[in-house]
Chain A
């Protein structure tokens, strides 16, 4: 194979000078961007080592470079020959120099001949590569000869592209500032100069500016590399929805209801529409005419609920969107929204769960009741167990409060419904389910919808609730003639309307225990309050049963579970969705029983923990692996349990109130969607799947996509880890697509980032795909190397990442393999022509359909476990709770990336502590939102977050290929542990911790006002 190149370029230097450099191999060779090292044989000959490669595929080639001709001052010719990729090449290059107006014109010609089987089947991509390299030589020559450059001492600049790549590849990325090497142009662009403003003479201002400037220039020593995602995020180059503004985009602002429950009498948009810059408005009437109500997940009667993307006839919560205003700018839309007039007839608001159950006021007339779902979960022989109980503990009422993990980025979407009838959503939703919700509502095919995400500023489940807004924005785009419509929720809107975690009430709980304090049975009635529209609900009415007995071995359970709607913002899954409130309940139960029976909190748990794994729960779920006892022992050791017990006694004598409490919890991951049939037997859902594609790209680099919607969980990093490990390459060589794109990421209907599943579903999909890719690569390599597949191995070689014959040094690199498949099919035998090196794998967890009648079956695949212990002190004056010490032991099976796992543990703990002590979404009796802003809601800050002592245990899951378990949600252990610690602190004052939220005010009311003891214990 022969390649010829030629061209010309100018250098702003006299010809002599240019000749001088080109004729000296010692000066010329280092200008090659691929230059690695050289050894001069004599003044005209050198042995040269160059690195050649495309993308991340780098091979070393050895060349003998000979200066054949040097006719001063106008002609120079080099020849060279060498070996690369098990083949040989010869090259020659000629330079002709002319002087024109004091500049030198360089005309050049090059010729390369490649020989060898590998080169001829893989060589297709070489030409463009070679051209690029030639351009680099020219640039580097021009730079070397630029005025001011030290031509006498030409060397490869330290920080050229190649050295950076090399550092990158070898992990020796340097942190030193490179100002000495930077070209003057770059330095000028980026240097920050703080010339004081002439009018400003304040010394302090100058000082501050000076201090900032000084620290900006600070260098530092090397630090270990972080995640793949980090570079863009720490440099402000993340792309969140609000950062995206396509040309011609319009802005949507919503007029929301000031009332929790009211009939819409009339709407006047005329003044708003006449404001210059306003494109159109949309009301519920129009939406009802042109769209279909969203699919309801629940059975009758909740299936009859008519839920549209704008309120129709009635508003059902404070913040219910009534009118959309679309304008050229956000400011104009905001102004216009204030000109919309809506008249309401106010209706009584249904705020409490108790009121909702009476149906005195019905929120959705179509359904005829506020009770959207009801079912009894009964296992074992409950009444028999109660008949034989040694103790029965009765708890009137417990309550899990409404709060939200409030991702820092609110819901947002840019929707474009163009004239070709394609709908593009650039948004921050977190799963593919919205496609299935939106398409029927807008009466389009799912393939007309393109769903894209890029960076997402946290979601924690909440952003599943984005789809009504996405639908509305798409509708607005169509009405506005196909222009993109951007909607970005404000924080205040989110506080009113965005998906919050639901509230749960536990009534009339009875617990049967044997004489040793082992719980034998529980019967109870639980009611969820899901807000005004069920949306993703009533799935929460079954999801809790993934952890039905929590960490405990009781076999007899009867829970009457139901859900109601109220005039509050619609809920959405929130980190720990539905399982967390149930585990908080179970932890309250065991803790209250311990206190009532005088059994220490650790002891009663030890008597009740499940000990043998895999463990089948009374409702057929299988806890895969774990060791609660070891976790408790470790946590007790770290915090110094016995010491704290002593300190507590001592403190009491000083009038201080100290308590120590345990929270044991489970984080069930990887849903079996068949559980939805327990809610509604007509739902055609079962199991779960996640899809990944991995390919050896055209240039031999590795790229991958996964059908997930990461929001900070580091999927790019862990995906690259799995692939790199399987192929024996560095993670830097693996390029993982950022975010989700339905036109790019192969996917199924249930793909997404939710329910603690990525380490299992996502990584299993990636692993399956890379194994398939490996097999294809092996087949090709076996052919190219004329070897047996079994004799091949993967690894890094001189030629970059390669497949080689074990123990021979004979290998074929990725570039060559990619070339064979992509450019040189005729070189392949018939049986290898199907190979694409672009493979797809769908991971499907091994689930079966549950018994819907009996509500029995395996609902999730893995169970990560966490055990927290908190030591707290309650101020007897202010009732403020202070955390004195906090220990976490977590076990999520085999850990793929310890840094990321620990980060998730920290984050989940912050959400739990925030919820336990600070964060609540309260409403007044009229349904007014009382935490309408971040300032009122007060999410946990760095100031009220204690230092955490974390420890990790690993009991690998037997059900996953890698032994990993999903763990991102955490099981809300801080809520359990804080409630337990407060219980421990306050039990002797007659306080029973009944609520999951314990603000100073709530504790004050408990302690000062006193109330009827909600617990009775009967011992027989």
Chain B
């Protein structure tokens, strides 16, 4: 059972929000732990221990991934985007602004995961229906908003981006 004594560290290289990071990690380190603890990017949250809640969602090589379902070593060579990488030159991404404008967040704990899942949705489907939104976010739990304004936020972001 005692893993820490015999642990061999494994070198990995990932690009996180455009920056290349090389680190030695324990094989058992979860990607979410790597992002939060090794890199100090604490915008990605942990809400459960059974990969249910989606608070830890990040983008790995273009796909939304629950970063607690993946080991850091599995991400070797990947390109990762976290919530910290959404803003551009101090300007919020339309999804971030839409969540704020439409009160799509209350405590904000689920929000980074919601944003990353929504980003993956809009990347694939710039004009999603409510059903598409529900389907994409079925793995993201929010305990504050009752989801109504999350749906509204994503719709608003989609339409704002279309009009642009």
Query: Within 8 Å of chain A (Cβ to Cβ): is B73?
Result: no
Contact assessment for B18 and A711 in the assembled complex, using a CB-CB cutoff below 8 Å: no
**Which of A187, A406, A409, A490: most chain B Cβ within 10 A?**
A409
Tell me which of A518-526, A595-603, A865-873, A943-951 binds B. Answer: A943-951
Given contacts A199-B77, A408-B107, A409-B109, contact A223 B98 (CB under 8 A): yes
Contact assessment for B77 and A200 in the assembled complex, using a CB-CB cutoff below 8 Å: yes
Contact assessment for A407 and B143 in the assembled complex, using a CB-CB cutoff below 8 Å: yes
**Nearest B residue to A232, CB-CB:** B108
Pick from B46, B105, B140: contact of A234, CB below 8 A: B105
Contact assessment for B146 and A212 in the assembled complex, using a CB-CB cutoff below 8 Å: no
Query: Within 8 Å of chain A (Cβ to Cβ): is B31?
Result: no
Chain B residues with CB under 8 Å of A645's CB are none
| CB within 8 Å of A: which B63-89 residues | 63, 77-79, 81-89
**Which of A239, A410, A906: most chain B Cβ within 10 A?**
A906
Chain B residues with CB under 8 Å of A902's CB are 103, 149
Given contacts A216-B86, A216-B88, A408-B55, contact A335 B146 (CB under 8 A): no
Q: For the side of the interface on B, what is the size category? A: 35 or more
Contact assessment for B94 and A231 in the assembled complex, using a CB-CB cutoff below 8 Å: no
Interface of A is mostly: loop
Q: Mark B8-48, 1 if CB is under 8 A from A, else 0.
A: 00000001011000000010100000001100011111111
Q: B50 → chain A, closest Cβ, in Å?
A: 4
Contact assessment for B148 and A221 in the assembled complex, using a CB-CB cutoff below 8 Å: no
Contact assessment for B120 and A233 in the assembled complex, using a CB-CB cutoff below 8 Å: no
Given contacts A205-B62, A223-B160, A942-B140, contact A907 B100 (CB under 8 A): no
Contact assessment for B61 and A408 in the assembled complex, using a CB-CB cutoff below 8 Å: no
Q: B81 → chain A, closest Cβ, in Å?
A: 6
Query: Within 8 Å of chain B (Cβ to Cβ): is A101?
Result: no
Q: How far is the CA of A199 from the CA of B145 in the complex (A)?
A: 43
Contact assessment for A234 and B49 in the assembled complex, using a CB-CB cutoff below 8 Å: no
Contact assessment for A234 and B92 in the assembled complex, using a CB-CB cutoff below 8 Å: yes
Query: Within 8 Å of chain B (Cβ to Cβ): is A1008?
Result: no
Given contacts A234-B111, A236-B41, A457-B107, contact A175 B91 (CB under 8 A): yes
Q: How far is the CA of A187 from the CA of B18 in the complex (A)?
A: 12
| CB within 8 Å of A: which B95-138 residues | 96-103, 105-112, 115, 119-120, 122-124, 126, 130, 133-135, 137-138
Q: How far is the CA of A187 from the CA of B94 in the complex (A)?
A: 18
**Nearest B residue to A223, CB-CB:** B101
Chain B residues with CB under 8 Å of A243's CB are 36, 42
Q: B112 → chain A, closest Cβ, in Å?
A: 5
Pick from B17, B18, B111: contact of A233, CB below 8 A: B111
Chain B residues with CB under 8 Å of A238's CB are 43, 108-109
Contact assessment for B89 and A187 in the assembled complex, using a CB-CB cutoff below 8 Å: yes
**Nearest A residue to B135, CB-CB:** A943
Contact assessment for A175 and B94 in the assembled complex, using a CB-CB cutoff below 8 Å: yes
Pick from A192, A409, A903: contact of B18, CB below 8 A: A192
Q: B142 → chain A, closest Cβ, in Å?
A: 7
Contact assessment for B147 and A233 in the assembled complex, using a CB-CB cutoff below 8 Å: no
Q: A44 → chain B, closest Cβ, in Å?
A: 38
Contact assessment for A406 and B163 in the assembled complex, using a CB-CB cutoff below 8 Å: no
Chain B residues with CB under 8 Å of A211's CB are 62, 123-124
Q: How many residues of chain A are within 8 Å of chain B by beta carbon?
A: 101
Contact assessment for B96 and A235 in the assembled complex, using a CB-CB cutoff below 8 Å: yes
Q: A901 → chain B, closest Cβ, in Å?
A: 10
**Nearest B residue to A331, CB-CB:** B4
Query: Within 8 Å of chain B (Cβ to Cβ): is A878?
Result: no
Query: Within 8 Å of chain B (Cβ to Cβ): is A229?
Result: yes
Q: How far is the CA of A667 from the CA of B36 in the complex (A)?
A: 39
Contact assessment for A906 and B148 in the assembled complex, using a CB-CB cutoff below 8 Å: yes
**Nearest B residue to A239, CB-CB:** B42
Q: How far is the CA of A192 from the CA of B107 in the complex (A)?
A: 28
Contact assessment for B147 and A226 in the assembled complex, using a CB-CB cutoff below 8 Å: no
Pick from B2, B41, B83, B109: contact of A339, CB below 8 A: B2
Pick from A194, A217, A939: contact of B141, CB below 8 A: A939
Query: Within 8 Å of chain B (Cβ to Cβ): is A637?
Result: no
Q: How far is the CA of A276 from the CA of B87 in the complex (A)?
A: 42
**Nearest B residue to A713, CB-CB:** B106
Q: B7 → chain A, closest Cβ, in Å?
A: 9
Query: Within 8 Å of chain B (Cβ to Cβ): is A925?
Result: no
Chain A residues with CB under 8 Å of B87's CB are 190, 235
Contact assessment for A712 and B107 in the assembled complex, using a CB-CB cutoff below 8 Å: yes
Query: Within 8 Å of chain B (Cβ to Cβ): is A149?
Result: no
Q: How far is the CA of A192 from the CA of B103 in the complex (A)?
A: 28
Query: Within 8 Å of chain B (Cβ to Cβ): is A491?
Result: yes
Contact assessment for B164 and A186 in the assembled complex, using a CB-CB cutoff below 8 Å: no
Chain B residues with CB under 8 Å of A237's CB are 43
**Nearest B residue to A196, CB-CB:** B79
Query: Within 8 Å of chain B (Cβ to Cβ): is A714?
Result: yes
Q: How far is the CA of A697 from the CA of B133 in the complex (A)?
A: 46
Given contacts A179-B88, A409-B47, contact A209 B5 (CB under 8 A): no
Q: Mark A202-245, 1 if CB is under 8 A from B, else 0.
A: 00010111111011111111011111011111111111101101
Q: How far is the CA of A947 from the CA of B15 in the complex (A)?
A: 39
Contact assessment for A225 and B148 in the assembled complex, using a CB-CB cutoff below 8 Å: no
Chain A residues with CB under 8 Å of B49's CB are 490-492, 933
Contact assessment for A948 and B148 in the assembled complex, using a CB-CB cutoff below 8 Å: yes
Q: How far is the CA of A797 from the CA of B146 in the complex (A)?
A: 42
Q: A715 → chain B, closest Cβ, in Å?
A: 11
Contact assessment for A212 and B101 in the assembled complex, using a CB-CB cutoff below 8 Å: no
Query: Within 8 Å of chain B (Cβ to Cβ): is A941?
Result: yes
Chain B residues with CB under 8 Å of A711's CB are 106-107
Q: How far is the CA of A200 from the CA of B164 in the complex (A)?
A: 34
Q: B77 → chain A, closest Cβ, in Å?
A: 5
Contact assessment for B4 and A408 in the assembled complex, using a CB-CB cutoff below 8 Å: no
Pick from A192, A245, A338, A948: contact of B1, CB below 8 A: A338
Q: A933 → chain B, closest Cβ, in Å?
A: 4
Q: How far is the CA of A160 from the CA of B62 in the complex (A)?
A: 33
**Nearest B residue to A191, CB-CB:** B18
Given contacts A209-B62, A910-B146, A942-B150, contact A192 B100 (CB under 8 A): no
Chain B residues with CB under 8 Å of A935's CB are 48, 50, 52
Chain A residues with CB under 8 Å of B101's CB are 223-226
Chain A residues with CB under 8 Å of B93's CB are 216, 218
Contact assessment for B96 and A407 in the assembled complex, using a CB-CB cutoff below 8 Å: no
Q: How far is the CA of A194 from the CA of B61 in the complex (A)?
A: 8
Given contacts A408-B109, A458-B109, contact A234 B149 (CB under 8 A): no
Chain A residues with CB under 8 Å of B50's CB are 491-492, 933-935
Chain B residues with CB under 8 Å of A630's CB are none
Contact assessment for B107 and A456 in the assembled complex, using a CB-CB cutoff below 8 Å: yes
Query: Within 8 Å of chain B (Cβ to Cβ): is A405?
Result: yes
Pick from B5, B89, B144, B147: contact of A177, CB below 8 A: B89
Contact assessment for A236 and B143 in the assembled complex, using a CB-CB cutoff below 8 Å: no
Q: How far is the CA of A899 from the CA of B59 in the complex (A)?
A: 30
Q: Mark A381-420, 1 if CB is under 8 A from B, else 0.
A: 0000000000000000000000001111110000000000
Q: How far is the CA of A310 from the CA of B69 in the complex (A)?
A: 32
Q: Mark A156-182, 1 if CB is under 8 A from B, else 0.
A: 000100001000000000011111001
Query: Within 8 Å of chain B (Cβ to Cβ): is A275?
Result: yes
Pick from B100, B124, B140, B151: contact of A231, CB below 8 A: B100
Query: Within 8 Å of chain B (Cβ to Cβ): is A455?
Result: yes
Contact assessment for A906 and B145 in the assembled complex, using a CB-CB cutoff below 8 Å: yes
Contact assessment for A210 and B62 in the assembled complex, using a CB-CB cutoff below 8 Å: yes
Contact assessment for B160 and A408 in the assembled complex, using a CB-CB cutoff below 8 Å: no
17 A-B residue pairs with Cβ-Cβ distance under 8 Å, sorted by A, are A179-B89, A200-B77, A207-B62, A216-B88, A220-B161, A221-B160, A236-B84, A245-B37, A338-B1, A339-B1, A408-B53, A490-B49, A903-B103, A903-B149, A935-B52, A942-B137, A942-B140
Known: A216-B86, A231-B100. 20 other contacts (CB 8 A): A175-B97, A179-B89, A215-B119, A219-B164, A220-B163, A223-B156, A230-B108, A234-B83, A235-B96, A238-B109, A275-B4, A338-B1, A408-B45, A713-B106, A933-B49, A934-B48, A939-B143, A942-B138, A947-B130, A948-B146
10 A-B pairs with the lowest CB-CB distances in the bound complex, closest first:
A236-B43, A208-B62, A457-B109, A233-B108, A226-B100, A712-B107, A712-B106, A906-B146, A910-B146, A220-B94
